[in-house]
Amino acid sequence: MNKSKETVGRADLKKMKENIDQIEVHLAKLLELGGGMPVIEKNVRAMKSFIHALKFGVSDIAELEE
């Protein structure tokens, strides 16, 4: 196993993925609660975009290692 994987182990990746998934669920709930308010809609959109990037760089790798 290479040096970087020692510092961020499999267990961490799995937990990170779980956290990312939970954030996504929370964002969906927040959007629903917002009822179409632009402040919620637009900020949730922004946060979902960061989740897309995190899923690419973290969650996908966690799934690969499962």
Partner 1 sequence: MVEDKRRYWNPVLETLDPEQHRALEIKNFRRLIRYAKGHSLFYQEKYKDINPEDILDLDTIRRLPLVDKEDLRKAQEGQEPFPYGEMLGVPLAEVTDFRQTSGTTGRPVYVPESYESWQWRVEVWCHILWMAGFRETDRVFIPFGYNVYVAFWEGHYAAEKVGCEVVPGGALDTRGRVSKIMEVKATALMNTPTYGLHLAEEVGKMGLDPKGLGIKRMLCAGEPLPPATRNRLGEIWGAEVYDHIGGTEPCAWAAMCGERQGLHIMEPFFLVEILDMETLSREVGPGELGVVVVTPLGRHSFPLLRFNTKDVVRRGEDNCPCGRTSKMISGVEGRADDLRKIRGVLFTPVTVEEVVRKEFPQVVEFEILVERKNLMDEICLRVEPQEEMGKETAKDFCRHIGERLKTKTNLRFQIEMVPPGGLPRYTLKSKRFKDLREVKNHE
Interface with partner 1 (CB under 8 A): 2-5, 7-8, 13, 45-46, 48-50, 52-53, 56-58, 60-61, 64
Supply the minimum distance, in Å, between the C-beta of residue 66 and partner 1: 12
Angle (CA) 58-61-65 rounded to 5° is 135
> Which two three-digit tokens encode residue 3?
């040096």
Supply the minimum distance, in Å, between the C-beta of residue 58 and partner 1: 8
Q: Which of 62, 35, 29, 63 is nearest to 47 (CA)?
A: 29
Supply the minimum distance, in Å, between the C-beta of residue 5 and partner 1: 6
